[in-house]
Structure 1
Amino acid sequence: MAVEKSYYDHANPDLLSRIPTNSLTVLEVGCGGGALGHAYKMINPSAQYLGIELMETPAKLAKERLDQVWCIDIEDMKIQFELPEKYPSIDALIYGDVLERLKDPQKILREHVSWLSPDGVVVASIPNVQHWSVIYNLIQGNWPQDDTGIFNKTHLRWFTRNSIVELFASLELKITSLQPRFLNLEQAKNFAKILEPCLEKMGQTPQKFLEGSAPLQYIVTATKKLIKPVYISGLMLKPQAGMNEVRMIQPLKSVASFPGVNIELSSTGLQLRSLDPSVPKIMIWQRQTLTYESSLTQLKKIIKAGYILISEFDDDPDHFQSIIDNKYLSFRAVHAVQVSTDSLSSSMKKYNPEVKIFKNCLDFLPASKLDKWIVKSSNSRLRVFFGALNREADWEAWLPCINDLLLEHEDLFEFEVVHDKKFFHSLMTNNKRFTPICDYAKYRQLLSDSHVALMPLRDTKFNKMKSDLKFVEASGYEVASIASPTVYAEVIEPGFNGEIAVDGKRVAEILKLWGECPDLAKACASNARNWIRSNRLQSQQSVARLDWYKDLYQRRDELTKALLQRVPELSLE
């Protein structure tokens, strides 16, 4: 049976998540068709991603995706492969299901680790021969010879968790993470249950057996030098309109790609960890409203447990009466505050001097979809996207002019509306589609298929506190923006990466122009995507984010003292 092409063209998401997002040069040994490297370069486009691949067919595909690919057998004694001088060192060495295929994985690793930069990492996925399915087959007297999976007939070496640890220790590499990957966990539990009488006679507990036999493989991260761990916990809102993804999940997952960083995210509650005081413990609360009546006891426990507590807030605090009534306790009773805009920073500093701005970013640069701009027939229309919550007061001044335009040029446009049913029903056209509040993945998919996005914002104090996220999202998906000057004038250069509309008349003028000359909108969309590539990816701010968290923890005593001075009710005495 031939191995399917998809076998060499798959990106292991757990492996991808462990490659530090700030790596300058990555080398993947056994890169296949370059799927993993392609996915990584969407996260970090500036990286040089190199590949080594034995098979000619996948290597040919990889050469179309990666910066340089060598089609060689790294264990061929006749080939003395050396890293070209233009790559002085490697920041991440990747082995995705490769070490088990080598005759001497220890020898190869030792050679390659010599290329590693001082802060570089080795990331590998390695099958677990202790997996319950292997034990089951051995009991039956079988050793299958498969084209894929744990019984892949190309495997020459076999590993358990213990032997993985021994291999990396023999190379003086420090394992920072040994993450199990599971498949059919319930079957593993049932198998352990069946063997329970035998396990007890061998002095093995069912739980211990399950821990070793349930993982199908391990994702290993290791470094040359010992890395002090960092623990980051995040208490999020209940999922709504992508807020958790943009402000918590995506940025913290990017930070967690660095060795030693551990994250825990929840919308329901977090457990306090008891760790060595030298180990940084950071807790981030997203838009939590603190009150004197119900929050003081919980805050005392967090401070006593030695955490740095950060408030993550991305809206005008004066918009929320409960925050005002509690004298801005949400910001005064924490060690620091993180926000998304300069205006929010200025507002928060009235209540807490420790404020950091992390502008909204994308977790990856989406693949270009220029084919959507191709005019396929005379009936093709420009798809206009609008997706926002609570924006009626902002779009109502635009709508009459948009509807006047549709009376004369309805055939030029179709509308994709998400969330806002009133805006949908107010559009005087049959060329429209409505999607109610949806998850963030669906929202981004609908946006990506559009050509133009509308971003109305009135000039109010509340709106001035908002971020440019709508522009960032649209631009990443190569969608041209028509936006109000409020907020968006800071990032849009009219006629280059979008358009600014001061009123509904100007909106209609731009729509008509783009409807008749879509290449003008396409050019703005392309320039906007390039701007995102250079300015607004999570990988570009993750180092600064982690450094800030570590710095806060180093100043924990000082910051806690200042916090207790702001809120003496939290005194631990």
Structure 2
Amino acid sequence: MNDHPLRIEVLVNSPGPHDQVRIREPFKALQQQGLDCRIHERPFRFSSCIRPHSLVIWQRPLPESRQRQWEHLQWLRERGCLLLTEWDDHPDLFPEPIQTPLRAIALAPLQLCHALHTSSPRLANALRPLQPLALVLENSIAQLPPLDLAKHTRPPLRLLIANQNRSGEHQAISQALAEWAKADPSLQLVVIGDRALAQRLPAHQLEFHPTLPYQHYRAVLASCQIALLPLEATEANACKTPIKLLECAAASVATVCGPGLYSLWAPAGVTRLVTGLEQVVPEARSLAENPAERRGLVARAHSWVGQQWQLQGQLPWRLWLYQELWRRRRAVDARLVERINAYPAL
């Protein structure tokens, strides 16, 4: 069974800030540990970038048709490869321009592969009707800067709202944010990505950025003292990972979170959790008025990330999973064939 050692080909189909944590940081770290692993940018030709007998991890594939996905899968199987579809969000949460073509091909990338390579146990369970086999590799922090409590004693207060695809949550808190800004002329509102939210806030207190490259985003994050992470409590949102909270904690930024997702992950004392969106801004104002409490929250959150969420600590487990999957590749491929034969409509 060891006639072909493990080697990995990673296909980046959807480049952007989101691929840094899911793809580039972990696989570059594995490269540095000596794993034979290559990262390919689109556009890519299978014949020129995929070696026979490789573990292929394809990030967010979006083939032109279901038949095309089938052809990709068979081409890889004929060359002794396993295909994992890297999928890190519930399909219901993708923007409409992505959702529509995915639904048109009946979510073929999730079904027509050997297994999913995904980010949370809850997401793996939600996708189980489409694909019963999944490797769950949670997001983690590759770079943990030193704890910075001093910035919480330095004015002005910089408040960050940098969530992607949360227009409903942002709209729900926008009036309270504008009222806070009016009451405190020194407050600086830092918004990344959501132009509609930015237009509802006073321009003279606003610092707006379009979606940023990942390292630039982390730099802007580190310049702030408080971040708002509003998220509705839905099943699709519960399938997310707490990466925004982890990034804030690593950057010594205090957070107000919820009502969805974060209570499933965060221990007591690392963030302010809310049970309704109407509480987000009042809780943030309370934190702004209590710098000593804010520093305690930040210190505990930074320690939590350092102890439990650093990429370096995850690497041995990640490598073991890939090695075990590759060792069992013939059984995994046989299971795929059985599933296809049992459900010819696939």
Asked if TM exceeds 0.5, the reply is: yes
Aligned to 1:370: 149
Aligned to 2:156: 381
* In 1: Cα distance, 2:160 partner to 2:169 partner: 15
**Structure 1 residue 511, shift from structure 2 partner:** 2.3
Matched, 1:352 2:131: yes
Amino acid corresponding to residue 50 of structure 2 in structure 1: L
* Seq. identity, %: 22
**Structure 1 residue 298, shift from structure 2 partner:** 2.1
Aligned to 1:50: none
Structure with the larger helix share:
2
**Structure 1 residue 358, shift from structure 2 partner:** 1.3
Specify which of 460, 468, 492 is matched with residue 242 of structure 2: 468
* In 1: Cα distance, 2:185 partner to 2:236 partner: 34
Aligned to 2:7: 231
Amino acid corresponding to residue 338 of structure 2 in structure 1: Q
Specify which of 482, 490, 495 is matched with residue 256 of structure 2: 482
On the 8 A contact 1:229/1:260 being kept in 2, the answer is: no
Classify the secondary structure of the residue corresponding to 1:430: helix
Extract unaligned runs of 5+ from structure 1.
1-227
**Structure 1 residue 504, shift from structure 2 partner:** 4.5
Extract unaligned runs of 5+ from structure 2.
94-98
Aligned to 2:31: 256
Aligned to 2:51: 273
Classify the secondary structure of the residue corresponding to 1:384: strand
Amino acid corresponding to residue 231 of structure 1 in structure 2: R
Aligned to 1:288: 61
On the 8 A contact 1:237/1:244 being kept in 2, the answer is: no
Classify the secondary structure of the residue corresponding to 2:7: strand
Matched, 1:563 2:336: yes
Classify the secondary structure of the residue corresponding to 2:232: coil
TM-score with structure 1 length normalisation? 0.55
**Structure 1 residue 464, shift from structure 2 partner:** 2.3
Q: How has the CA–CA distance of structure 1 residues 566 and 328 changed in structure 2, closer, same or farther, with 3 Å as cutoff?
A: farther
Matched, 1:511 2:284: yes
* In 2: Cα distance, 1:564 partner to 1:441 partner: 42
* In 2: Cα distance, 1:265 partner to 1:478 partner: 34
Deviations 1:14-69 (A, max 9, x none): xxxxxxxxxxxxxxxxxxxxxxxxxxxxxxxxxxxxxxxxxxxxxxxxxxxxxxxx
* In 2: Cα distance, 1:354 partner to 1:421 partner: 39
Matched, 1:541 2:320: no
Q: How has the CA–CA distance of structure 1 residues 264 and 230 changed in structure 2, closer, same or farther, with 3 Å as cutoff?
A: farther
**Cα RMSD (Å):** 2.3
**Structure 1 residue 366, shift from structure 2 partner:** 1.7
Deviations 1:314-333 (A, max 9, x none): 11134534444434432222
On the 8 A contact 2:85/2:113 being kept in 1, the answer is: yes
On the 8 A contact 1:493/1:499 being kept in 2, the answer is: no
User: Mapping of 1:307-456 within 5 angstroms?
Assistant: 307-318=81-92, 320-375=99-154, 380-411=155-186, 413-428=187-202, 430-456=204-230
On the 8 A contact 2:118/2:135 being kept in 1, the answer is: yes
* In 2: Cα distance, 1:441 partner to 1:421 partner: 21
* In 1: Cα distance, 2:147 partner to 2:140 partner: 17
User: Mapping of 1:9-408 within 5 angstroms?
Assistant: 230-240=6-16, 242-269=17-44, 270=46, 271-274=49-52, 281-290=54-63, 291-318=65-92, 320-375=99-154, 380-408=155-183
* In 2: Cα distance, 1:504 partner to 1:316 partner: 22
Classify the secondary structure of the residue corresponding to 1:230: coil
Classify the secondary structure of the residue corresponding to 1:410: coil
* In 2: Cα distance, 1:295 partner to 1:504 partner: 41
**Structure 1 residue 475, shift from structure 2 partner:** 0.9
**Structure 1 residue 360, shift from structure 2 partner:** 1.0
Deviations 1:244-289 (A, max 9, x none): 1111111111222323433333232252214xx6xxx211011113
**Structure 1 residue 564, shift from structure 2 partner:** 2.2
Matched, 1:527 2:285: no
Matched, 1:502 2:275: yes
Amino acid corresponding to residue 261 of structure 1 in structure 2: D
* In 2: Cα distance, 1:484 partner to 1:298 partner: 40
**Structure 1 residue 482, shift from structure 2 partner:** 0.6
Amino acid corresponding to residue 272 of structure 1 in structure 2: I
**Structure 1 residue 403, shift from structure 2 partner:** 2.4
Q: How has the CA–CA distance of structure 1 residues 516 and 260 changed in structure 2, closer, same or farther, with 3 Å as cutoff?
A: closer
* In 2: Cα distance, 1:287 partner to 1:508 partner: 34
Deviations 1:418-443 (A, max 9, x none): 11111112124622211112211111
* In 1: Cα distance, 2:81 partner to 2:9 partner: 10
* In 1: Cα distance, 2:203 partner to 2:18 partner: 31
On the 8 A contact 1:362/1:473 being kept in 2, the answer is: yes
TM-score with structure 2 length normalisation? 0.88
**Equivalences, count:** 332
Matched, 1:550 2:326: no
On the 8 A contact 1:229/1:262 being kept in 2, the answer is: no
On the 8 A contact 2:230/2:277 being kept in 1, the answer is: no
Deviations 1:93-147 (A, max 9, x none): xxxxxxxxxxxxxxxxxxxxxxxxxxxxxxxxxxxxxxxxxxxxxxxxxxxxxxx
**Structure 1 residue 543, shift from structure 2 partner:** 1.4
* In 2: Cα distance, 1:401 partner to 1:504 partner: 11
**Structure 1 residue 401, shift from structure 2 partner:** 2.2
Q: How has the CA–CA distance of structure 1 residues 348 and 505 changed in structure 2, closer, same or farther, with 3 Å as cutoff?
A: closer
